[in-house]
Amino acid sequence: MQDSHSASYAAAGVDIEAGYKGVQLMKQHVERTMIPGVVSGIGGFGGLFAPDLAGMKEPILVSGTDGVGTKIRVAQLLDKHDTIGIDAVAMCVNDIICCGAKPLFFLDYIAIGKNEPEKVAAMVAGVAEGCVQAGCALIGGETAEHPGVMNPEDYDLAGFSVGIVDKEKMIDNTKMKAGDVILGLASNGLHSNGFSLVRKVFDIEHADLNKPLDELDGKSLGEELLAPTKIYVKPVLAAMEAARVYGVSHITGGGFFENIPRCLPQRLTAKIDKSALQIPPIFSLLQKTGDIPERDMFNTFNMGVGMVLVVDKEDVVKAVAALDGAGCPARVIGEVIPGDGGVELL
């Protein structure tokens, strides 16, 4: 690529040589994600992957796409870009696992005002770390420089993932029944949702994001807000091996009221015991500072529960043990009762 230079394109604000440097810097991170099935490295026109279908009777591909949202503004203000990629991966693979599919590969897309190779490489380092946590490969991506459309320091990060599951092993909520138990899997805090409200409440453009706060057990607001979204792929797969899992919901934007019903049949309702929740301090600080009604909190944020599993009541101990063994604390937060497919908070 040494002969690839366009003075005219550079004068228009696009430095293609910076793009080439970025690719070289990110290669070491991408290599960490290589798993069996990867056919091509980055740099080609398409990412190639050959899935292992051995033992599968009816393999089904499952895809998910998402972005990090306005949480990116926190990363920009702190000039810390090496964790935001974990969020991008998490928002996709945590959706895929809800039907029982194992993510195979991920591709990212970065739109940036001015291509700074080191900044882009830091973002990709986070993406690679997310892929390692999810057990999938980073097989491609795109970095697009947008001069005149975005400010030089601005960027956005999104991506998509493809996974696979044998049809007979898909999560099947038709088997769900009254009396089944709802497990809450602990979150890392706010994850990547509701940040337009979060930014408004804390006025982050003018806040001291590095000041330790007693309300956050000595953590700074910036540290807490930038904590990456937890990736639940390996824990949920472990729970599926150990127990009968009838429903899985990723608690993202829309909180409890929007997301839990997505794994329920219309004839059943989720009854959640609020006293069983371990709500991290950031949510209390957010609610108090913004004077936010409790229902709005549960209808916007995860409230310390990043993922919900509905398991057979006879398999609760086995499921919790499998989740804990995979490094994901879980606790009983409710049960399934006859109803209309909604959520009751008690």
What residues contact residue 336 under an 8 Å CB cut-off, 6+ apart?
176, 177, 178, 179, 180, 181, 182, 264, 268, 269, 270, 271, 310
Average pLDDT, the chain: 93
Q: Which of 19, 168, 24, 189 has its CA nearest to residue 90?
A: 189
pLDDT above 90 for 145: yes
- Residues 308 and 97: their CA atoms lie apart, in Å, by 12
Higher per-residue confidence, 266 vs 24:
266
pLDDT above 70 for 131: yes
Residue 346 binned pLDDT confidence (cut-offs 50, 70, 90)? very high
Q: Are 264 and 125 in contact (CB under 8 A)?
A: no
Q: Which of 136, 118, 40 has its CA nearest to residue 81?
A: 118
Q: Which of 217, 176, 133, 215 has its CA nearest to residue 309?
A: 176
How many CB atoms are located within 10 Å of the residue 294 CB? 11
Looking at residue 195, its amino acid is F
Residue 268: C-alpha distances to residues 2, 32, 100, 343 (Å): 63, 43, 21, 9
Lowest-confidence region among 148-152, 222-226, 244-248, 305-309: 148-152
* N-to-C CA span, the chain: 62
Three-state secondary structure call for residue 248: strand
- C-alpha angle 47-51-53 in degrees, rounded to nearest 5: 165
Three-state secondary structure call for residue 117: helix
How do residues 246-298 score in pLDDT, each as one tens digit? 999 999 999 999 999 999 999 999 999 999 999 999 999 999 999 999 999 99
Return the half-sphere exposure (C-beta side, CA atoms, 13 A cut-off) of residue 14: 13
Q: Which of 203, 166, 134 has its CA nearest to residue 61?
A: 166
Average pLDDT estimate for 51-78: 96
Q: Are 263 and 98 in contact (CB under 8 A)?
A: yes
Backbone angles phi, psi at 34, to 5 degrees: -65, 125
Task: Tokens for 293, please give them.
Answer: 């009604």
Residue 46 binned pLDDT confidence (cut-offs 50, 70, 90)? confident
- Residues 243 and 153: their CA atoms lie apart, in Å, by 48
